[in-house]
Structure 1
């Protein structure tokens, strides 16, 4: 629960520090500018609020790891992705987008702090504990924090604890650890297809390379 709060706070602080020019830079998400990614984070925050007040009375069907489904790499043609771009463009003043994220994001953070981690909630036809749901979102915040700063070298990156937790989750999904020579950041970027491995990295990955990328959805 604390890690959710810490990673979410770090991500929102990074967004708050962005200039208007930063928002117009490419993000690490194919086809999205940074402003589009920030708009997506508003939707994510809304999802957190909705899920935490959607109780379930059946046994959990997934946990913090199996919550993630593995899909195909994005093509930039998904209708929802295109909708996000249009929504982001509707914020004619960049500060309005940042204000909306701060407003809804703060509420999501407070809701997470107040949630009973053992309570069962429902989302996307799945049932899991609130604690597992919020733990899954540590990965979401960490990966999107990396996306946020992909072309902003001076921006503050994700916290170390979030990177480590996300790496462990990815390794569990992959069924194998990444080489020790890989930093947590490199493991996440290469593992999720956000960066192509070098020839040397591919050799180190060995059989694991054939399983990559792991596209989380």
Structure 2
């Protein structure tokens, strides 16, 4: 994902980097499990494999002790779902060349910059996941109310990012016209926001749906 993010920044120089951080402290059971699984089973010494099996068994036994009625499937999920062992750390870069801030509730970003960070992270995650599925995977993202409260130049940058990542898209918004230079031509359609209503008057708000490949 960070490979996709390296070339992406706002017009004000704001960029994003991601890190998958283990929550368990050094010396803990989970930390040791992660160390052991980094070595492929084919080359892992036998005693290390036995250690790994023992640690995994302890993980499951611990969940069983917490709730014996939960069922074996739930015990396995609670004990071995590695996603629960980590959190995603989002670091904001810029605007200065040495400026780095971890994204927290008090990060001083404009609303547009906050949304930019959210979108580029989403697109990079979609790119990483879909790239891992092989060449036959449908590289499609669906966005409802896309790019709300994002200014036009930034929307153009985000559309350009979709193109560079080779992501197809289908999106809806109340006022979105896919006419930005970085993007290809895309079919668009407009729909009244009220169903079964007379044709909209000039004052009636309408929605716009855009899709492109």
Q: TM-score, normalised by structure 2?
A: 0.26
- Higher-strand-fraction structure: 2
TM-score (norm 1): 0.26
Structure with higher Rg: it is 2
Structure having greater relative contact order (Cα 8 Å, sep ≥ 6): 1
Q: If each structure's helix is expressed as a fraction of its own residues, which one has the higher value?
A: 1
